[in-house]
Amino acid sequence: MSNTKISQETALTGAQLDRANDIFPIVDVSEGTTGNRKMTPNELMVGVPATSSAPGSMSAADKTKLDSINASTIVTTNTNQTVTGTKTITSQSIAASGSKPSAPSSGNVLMYSTDISGRVFPIWQTPDAREYIAQSGLARNQVVVFFPVDGVAVGTYGQNSTRVGTTSHVIPSDDSIPYMANLASASQLNNQIVPNTTNIFCNISTNSRIFCRGTNPNGFGGFFFFARIYLPDTSYPDTRIFIGMYSRTPSTDNKGFWDGYVTAVDNPDGNFVGFQYSTSRGDTSWQFTTKDGTTQNVSAITGATFAAQKLLDFYIYCPRAGSTISYRLDNVTDGTSFSGSTSTNLPTANEYLGGGIQLRATAVNGSNLRWNRLYIEG
């Protein structure tokens, strides 16, 4: 290339350069006062791959790795990248998203992970921004699902249900409330205790206890609990509600979900973990409670004010051999969410628990509880 003044307005292309003859003007102070020295591109690039590495330099092994990279093998981590062809990935760790990502464009599915009550789930999101939790394999997991069907029946998977109250089904008027089963409070006599006690309540629960915290890190303890409910009445005076896991028969007296004992008092016998609301205790917000068979721990969920006619999602997560239990409460109607965890007075590690939803009322048919899903996975 002929002598040319290189300025900001001048760009050099490969066709303009003669690698053997063109020079880079540099100042090399190591040459003493002679100063200016000329170096061609070939002189600049001459050399052999390093055979050993010094701090800040590249090793021969690193150079070999870089030399093997080409457009067909590289997968970038920048946003909005398209990966074509077949790529084999031995394993992939996906960090939980701090917030819900934007929906993918039409014709695409977005895959990521998210934290739900302390448990990380793989998630698929469709272009309409709806999220789907990737379903766990059922072959090695204990899974219980209760769901509304029609008439007085309910659908069950994994266990039979125990119910008290008049069951009916309510067709929603719009899509802000899903299809739900309604339970109207009923009278139930517990003749297993002395004196016999009649409770007025409604509930749905598992009829066996098959979940526990566990002590073995390779064992079958741990559980994930989910319930979606709606409280259709305008108000719920003189009411107790329990949503969570309970040791159905903690003593020789058969106490638990089936006879209303779990809501008969604010601090029932046994081991449990769940959400509570009690007007007799003076609650104005939802509480999260645990008990180790002896001592109960109750913590108010700050901001989770109790209100009727709201669609609510309740989550509880205990990892196997867990020493901490996490929870989350979503007010779907208002778009608010509350979460926390506790390590205080957890259920005894190998005390097996059942799960359910129960509402204590003041009169038969006086209070209603609607539910869309009860799900427990171990």
pLDDT digits (tens, 9 = 90+) for 104-156: 999 999 889 989 898 888 888 999 999 888 877 788 889 999 999 999 999 99
Please state, as a whole number, how many other Cβ atoms lie within 10 Å of the Cβ of residue 171: 7
Identify the burial level of 185 via C-beta atoms within 10 angstroms of its C-beta, where 0-12 means exposed, 13-18 middle and 19 or more buried.
buried
Query: What's the chain's average pLDDT?
Result: 85
Length of the chain, in residues = 378
Q: Which of 136, 86, 92 is nearest to 111 (CA)?
A: 92
Radius of gyration of the chain (CA): 32
Render pLDDT for 235-257 as a digit per residue (tens, 0 to 9): 999 999 999 999 965 455 667 88
Answer whether 345's CB lies under 8 Å from 295's CB.
yes
More confident residue, 309 or 193: 309
Q: Is the dihedral of CA 126, 132, 134, 135 positive or negative?
A: negative
How would residue 43 be classed by pLDDT, with cut points 50, 70 and 90? low
pLDDT of residue 198: 87
How would residue 99 be classed by pLDDT, with cut points 50, 70 and 90? confident
Q: 3-class SS at 231?
A: coil
Pairing type for strands 271-278 and 285-292 reads antiparallel
Whether residue 37 has pLDDT greater than 90: no
Distance CA 311, CA 329 (A): 11
Give this prediction's pTM.
0.77
In the chain the domains, ranked by start, together with CATH numbers, are: 97-133 (no CATH), 143-377 (2.60.120.200)
Tokens representing 316 are 């509880």
More confident residue, 197 or 239: 239
How would residue 31 be classed by pLDDT, with cut points 50, 70 and 90? very low
Distances (CA, A) of 95 to 91, 285, 316: 13, 33, 21
Q: Which of 349, 275, 273, 281 is nearest to 312 (CA)?
A: 275
Which residue is it, tokens 């009411």?
239
- Give 195's Cβ-side CA count (13 Å radius): 3
Calculate what percentage of the chain has a pLDDT beyond 70: 79
Q: Which residues are bridge partners to 157 per DSSP?
A: 145
How would residue 23 be classed by pLDDT, with cut points 50, 70 and 90? low
Whether residue 227 has pLDDT greater than 50: yes
Q: 3-class SS at 80?
A: coil
How would residue 259 be classed by pLDDT, with cut points 50, 70 and 90? confident
pLDDT of residue 25: 54
Answer whether 250's CB lies under 8 Å from 259's CB.
no
Answer whether 311's CB lies under 8 Å from 230's CB.
yes
pLDDT of residue 181: 98
Render pLDDT for 290-345 as a digit per residue (tens, 0 to 9): 999 999 999 999 999 999 999 999 999 999 999 999 999 999 999 999 999 999 99
Segment (H or E) for 190: strand 186-190
pLDDT of residue 86: 80
Cβ neighbours of residue 1 under 8 Å, at least 6 residues apart?
12, 16, 17, 18, 22
Identify the burial level of 84 via C-beta atoms within 10 angstroms of its C-beta, where 0-12 means exposed, 13-18 middle and 19 or more buried.
exposed
Average pLDDT over residues 270-291: 97
Distance CA 28, CA 59 (A): 26
Distance CA 315, CA 155 (A): 21
DSSP structural state of residue 364: T
